[in-house]
Amino acid sequence: MQCLVIYDIPNDRARTKIADVCLDYGLDRIQFSAFLGQLARTHQEELLIQIKKVLGKKAGDVQIFPFCEKDERLRLSIHQGIEVEPSARAASGAIPYPAASDLVPIPPPEEPSEEELPPL
């Protein structure tokens, strides 16, 4: 099942470790504090247990939103500017500001067909 994992964690060290845990579960970073990927329900629960261990008593808000294939197809987004390749990630898990040589143009998304659009 496709899942969106988002978090708000004030502690830098804990936030970095949680990003590493998300990467270990095969999730892709889509924003600084958001990951997306396939996770079975049991893996979602395991991920939350691992994150809770990392957090300990530190403040944090972590949420997992599962969604179905149909909802994934209806996803709307704006990808404007640049894309940073995974190899460019800093060891801390943060996405660094890329050098001009690292800039990769992002093609515009395909327009959905009439049958894929939700009814008004």
Looking at residue 52, its pLDDT comes to: 96
Cα→Cα distances 2→57, 64, 68, 74, 103, Å: 29, 10, 7, 13, 28
Looking at residue 69, its pLDDT comes to: 83
- Written as six digits, the tokens of 65 are 């939103």
Q: Which has the higher per-residue pLDDT, 9 or 118?
A: 9
Domain boundaries, the chain: 2-116
pLDDT digits (tens, 9 = 90+) for 33-91: 999 999 999 999 999 999 999 999 999 999 999 998 888 888 887 777 756 444 333 33
CATH 3.30.70.240 correct for 2-116: yes
- Written as six digits, the tokens of 30 are 């889509």
